Amino acid sequence: MEATGLLERTEGLYAKVQHAIPAIEWPLLARDIDAIMALKKSHNAVILAHNYQTPEIYHCVADLVGDSLALAREAMNVEADVIVLAGVHFMAETAKLLNPSKKVLIPDLAAGCSLAESITPADVRNLRKRYPGVPIVTYVNTSAAVKAESDICCTSGNAKAIIESLGVKRVIMIPDEYLAKNIAAETGVEIITWKGHCEVHERFSAAEVAELRDDYPGVVILAHPECPPDVVGASDFSGSTAAIASYIAKERPPRVALLTECSMSDNVAIQYPELEFVRPCNLCPHMKRITLPKIRHALETMTHEVTIDPAVAERARLSVERMLAVKA
Ligand code: 13P
Ligand code: SF4
């Protein structure tokens, strides 16, 4: 009886994701979805989900979805008491920086990022000593402590605009070497890079792009700018996850390959069933730590709460706010 009610309550949601989720898996997912919906109401909570979250999270329980930039902007305007960040730790920290009076929860504390891991606050202080007077632009994929040592943040969605807004000939851009090189190619500004890489995007190669073009004639290839520069150079378009989604919405390429995390294609393909998505994707093990049972547990126990040392938060917030003040 209960199971029938549950399936009836969730049938509209299943209709949305049926091409991505086998029917046999739905009853189990539906139980968690139903519980999460009730918990969101009772705790006055909202779920912010990144574009790399699985379809049952992205399409079924999230209140707001987007790339890192959109999630930061949305977090700032949340009026609910609790924000559950279905994404990785730096995204939850950014939400806390921008809306400090809210309780921000991350369903798995170990949801990190290879870029955030690649640099420490001491590294940033050393760079500043080595290149006095050169502004430090820090990708949001970093800890709050690293942001606190920086002049301004950027995301893949606004990196070019941020660099150009500084009006200087030379900047330090940390920690993603490939993003920095890809943006340098677009701006003509000299960029001093760091040696961090995204463990997901660094695995794509130009040879793979050539193979895709041979195997799938006419395929349009869209690459995230965390991919190596030769991969971006061999692709038809490069942009943040939001820019990739907008490209598809506007151009509707009949056959398309997204050189980015796997769930991105799953989520966009649900919106455009008429397009063929070739899927040479790589999984982000950190994003995949976030699951429906963990979101449910986070809301049931109000864990894991994200906190930031107030002295660090004050300086980190400045870097993020300077970024948000630039029109992109
Ligand atoms: P976007 O800001 O483009 O969504 O990228 C975030 C990210 O972690 C990419 O790997
Ligand atoms: Fe970090 Fe790469 Fe995962 Fe994005 S996809 S969270 S950059 S490891």
Spell out the domain ranges in the chain. 2-112+287-301, 116-198, 201-278
Distance CA 35, CA 49 (A): 18
104 touches 295 (CB < 8 A): no
Query: How far does residue 240's CA lie from ligand 1's centre (Å)?
Result: 6
Instruction: Give yes or no on whether 2-112+287-301 and 116-198 have one common fold.
Output: yes
pTM: 0.97
Helix ranges (H only) for 240-291 are: 241-251, 262-271
Q: What is the pLDDT of residue 221?
A: 98
Q: What is the pLDDT of residue 3?
A: 75
Distance CA 228, CA 178 (A): 5
Bridge partner residues of 191 (DSSP): 171
Query: How far does residue 1's CA lie from ligand 1's centre (Å)?
Result: 43
Q: What is the CATH number of domain 2-112+287-301?
A: 3.40.50.10800
Q: What is the pLDDT of residue 1?
A: 45
Q: Is 35 in the pocket of ligand 2 (CB under 6 A)?
A: no
Q: Is 117 in the pocket of ligand 2 (CB under 6 A)?
A: no
Q: Is 223 in the pocket of ligand 2 (CB under 6 A)?
A: no
pLDDT tens digit sequence for 48-57: 999 999 999 9
Ligand nearest to the CA of residue 118, numbered in listed order: 2
> What is the position in ligand 1's atom list of the atom closest to the CA of 201?
10
Superfamily for 201-278?
NadA-like (3.40.50.10800)
Rounded to a whole number of angstroms, the distance between the first and last alpha carbons of the chain is 52
295 touches 61 (CB < 8 A): yes
pLDDT tens digit sequence for 255-268: 999 999 999 999 99
CB neighbours of 314 closer than 8 A, spacing ≥ 6?
Answer: 148
Q: Is 240 in the pocket of ligand 1 (CB under 6 A)?
A: yes
Q: What is the CATH number of domain 116-198?
A: 3.40.50.10800
Q: If residue 190 lies in a helix (H) or strand (E), which one and from where to where?
A: strand 190-193
> If we measure between CA atoms, which residue out of 79, 125, 129, 124 comes closest to residue 99?
79
Q: Where are the beta strands (DSSP E) in the chain?
A: 45-50, 64-66, 82-86, 103-105, 136-139, 152-154, 170-174, 190-193, 220-223, 237-238, 255-259, 276-278
> If we measure between CA atoms, which residue out of 228, 226, 247 comes closest to residue 236?
247
Q: Is 94 in the pocket of ligand 1 (CB under 6 A)?
A: no
Helix ranges (H only) for 188-234 are: 206-215, 229-234
Bridge partner residues of 305 (DSSP): 105
Q: What is the pLDDT of residue 280?
A: 87
Q: What is the pLDDT of residue 2?
A: 66
Residue having the nearest C-alpha atom to atom 8 of ligand 1 = 141
Per-residue pLDDT of the chain (328 residues; tens, 9 = 90+): 467 799 999 999 999 999 999 999 999 999 999 999 999 999 999 999 999 999 999 999 999 999 999 999 999 999 999 999 999 999 999 999 999 999 999 999 999 999 999 999 999 999 999 999 999 999 999 999 999 999 999 999 999 999 999 999 999 999 999 999 999 999 999 999 999 999 999 999 999 999 999 999 999 999 999 999 999 999 999 999 999 999 999 999 999 999 999 999 999 999 999 999 999 889 999 999 999 999 999 999 999 999 999 999 999 999 999 999 999 8
